Amino acid sequence: SETPEEARVGLMEKFGLSDLQARAILDMTLRRLTGLERDKIKEEYAELMKTIEYLKSILDDEGLRMQIIKDELEEIKQKFGDERRTTIVHSAEDMSMEDFIDDEEVVITISHEGYVKRTPATEFRAQGRGGKGSKGSTSRNEDFIEHMLVATNHNYMLFFTEAGRCFWLRVYEIPEGSRTSKGRAIQNIINIPKDEKIKAYIKVKNLKDQEYLENNFIIMCTKKGTIKKTSLEAYSRPRVNGINAININEGDVLLEACLTNGQSEIVMALRSGRAIRFNESTVRPMGRTATGVRGVRLAHDKDEVVGMIAVNNPEVTVLVVSEKGYGKRTDIEDYRVTNRGGKGVKTINVTEKTGQLVSIKDVTDSEDLMIINRSGIVIRIPVSALRVMGRATQGVRLISLKGDDEIASVTKIDHEEDEEETVDLADVLVVDGEELEADTTAETEETEEEEGESDNETEDEN
């Protein structure tokens, strides 16, 4: 052939070779056409045919393919193998929102107009008794903080409206805000009717443990002195629109709700400065739609219940706070146990200087008080700074108020050591407008408390 191209075409036509085969022949040098090179080519051909046969057998035999893969993996294991750094599981673990949220302690506030928020408890530093406090919230005109409680982010919150309905919320679902922020309207968080208002609340650690649900109860009271006890299990199934928690009589509203273990002692305080103590066992459990029974008898038509506590620890003291910032601690044993339904005994000497009673709490030395007034000022006071004193005394000034400002809410929180904490331990007892020495006894005469109603009192369970 005159050209390589003609030679390539000629080989393909005469011997039926492919283009690649013809090019391979043409690329061979003359020295490979000797007898020695010819034998070498035959050997290469034979090896190539064996390889082809072996590869075909692999394609035709699945067992052989698996064995080859196994052998290759074993070789890789011997060469690169080390301890496993990952874990193989059959299914992924279910994750919930609370798994990503720190269970820190927070302060929850609810304003008079229904704005709610949660704030880290560390933002509220302790101050000395009688201090002016720090700014607690910026609310709209005529609005003020009405409720304040301490919880952790993983707690459940049960909110009770004045009409007696119950709604659920996880604490971490409440919008977080700074100490001075206004918060968010609670109607935008849970489906509360616009004409209803939150009046009571409790925090619950668990709503899924059946034993816990069956062995705990919710005690509720109204402003007119009615009390009711229902198993916690009845409130363990959340509904978007809430459920009926108590039947409220006309002219009355729900005031307070407490979580108990069924063995507590109940103390109810009146605005007139009186309080009654009776055993929880005297109030039998009722259904959610029941009205309840009389817990305390009001002193007069304008009197009303201002708070209720459930006491389990005999070492706690009873703290009462008046609307003008006066308060005191008294041993629980100073309140003798009576039948429910009575008028109770004097718990604070109400005067024009102190104003009427607004709050009652059970406290210990390991706790702090958080007091907020209607203008939004908050003060945090160690309970240990308040000396235990008599039941019928007037108390000491807890917070300085300006003008006609009044106390809006009182709550308790675990004590926190603070380098800036300044506590005046020289308690001053105030009686009838005069300051006395801390060791001076200032007891006033009081009328004998009335016995409670008889056990055959009619219980309304509509």
- Domain containing 31 — which CATH number? 1.10.268.10
Residue-range definition of the domain harbouring residue 414: 104-436
| Same domain membership, residue 8 and residue 150 | no
Helices (H), 177-300: 210-214
| Same domain membership, residue 181 and residue 52 | no
| Same domain membership, residue 166 and residue 49 | no
**What would the pLDDT profile of 309-339 be if each residue is shown by its tens digit?**
999 888 889 999 999 999 999 999 999 999 9
Asked if residue 108 belongs to a domain, the reply is yes
Asked if residue 459 belongs to a domain, the reply is no
Averaged pLDDT, 111-119: 87
Number of residues assigned to the chain: 462
What pLDDT, on the 0 to 100 scale, is given for residue 126? 53
Q: Are 388 and 329 in contact (CB under 8 A)?
A: yes
**Proportion of the chain above pLDDT 70, given as a percent:** 82
What pLDDT, on the 0 to 100 scale, is given for residue 131? 54
Q: Say how many domains are in the chain.
A: 2
What pLDDT, on the 0 to 100 scale, is given for residue 441? 34
Spatial CB neighbours of 279, under 8 Å, sequence gap ≥ 6: 265, 266, 337
311 against 100, higher pLDDT: 311
Asked if residue 355 belongs to a domain, the reply is yes
Question: Confidence class of residue 167 from pLDDT cuts 50, 70 and 90?
Answer: very high
Q: Are 371 and 413 in contact (CB under 8 A)?
A: no
Q: Are 145 and 73 in contact (CB under 8 A)?
A: no
Asked if residue 191 belongs to a domain, the reply is yes
Angle CA 150–156–159, to nearest 5: 80
What pLDDT, on the 0 to 100 scale, is given for residue 285? 94
Question: Confidence class of residue 297 from pLDDT cuts 50, 70 and 90?
Answer: very high
Asked if residue 115 belongs to a domain, the reply is yes
Domain boundary at 73, 91, 120, which? 73
Tell me the two tokens of residue 161: 């409206």
Averaged pLDDT, 268-286: 95
| Same domain membership, residue 121 and residue 13 | no
| Same domain membership, residue 114 and residue 16 | no
Q: Is the pLDDT of residue 293 over 90?
A: yes
Mean pLDDT of the chain: 81
| Same domain membership, residue 21 and residue 126 | no
What pLDDT, on the 0 to 100 scale, is given for residue 233? 92
Q: How far apart are CA 93 and CA 19, in angstroms?
A: 61
Q: How far apart are CA 13 and CA 211, in angstroms?
A: 94
Asked if residue 52 belongs to a domain, the reply is yes
Asked if residue 217 belongs to a domain, the reply is yes
* Lowest mean pLDDT segment, chosen from 80-89, 91-100, 272-281, 386-395: 91-100
What pLDDT, on the 0 to 100 scale, is given for residue 264? 93
Q: How far apart are CA 115 and CA 188, in angstroms?
A: 10
CA 405 to each of CA 8, 160, 314, 402: distance values in angstroms, whole numbers, following the listed order? 110, 27, 35, 6
| Same domain membership, residue 152 and residue 56 | no
What pLDDT, on the 0 to 100 scale, is given for residue 439? 34
| Same domain membership, residue 345 and residue 249 | yes
Residue 160 sits in a domain of what CATH number? Answer: 2.120.10.90
| Same domain membership, residue 334 and residue 276 | yes
| Same domain membership, residue 292 and residue 429 | yes
| Same domain membership, residue 132 and residue 68 | no
409 against 229, higher pLDDT: 229
192-201, 277-286, 344-353, range with greatest mean pLDDT: 277-286
CA 213 to each of CA 235, 240, 246, 308, 312: distance values in angstroms, whole numbers, following the listed order? 9, 20, 18, 22, 18
| Same domain membership, residue 153 and residue 41 | no
Which residues lie across from 232 on neighbouring strands?
Answer: none
Its sign, for the CA torsion 426, 431, 437, 439, is: negative
Q: Is the pLDDT of residue 109 over 90?
A: no
Asked if residue 452 belongs to a domain, the reply is no
Question: Confidence class of residue 423 from pLDDT cuts 50, 70 and 90?
Answer: very low
What pLDDT, on the 0 to 100 scale, is given for residue 34? 62
Q: Is the pLDDT of residue 25 over 90?
A: no
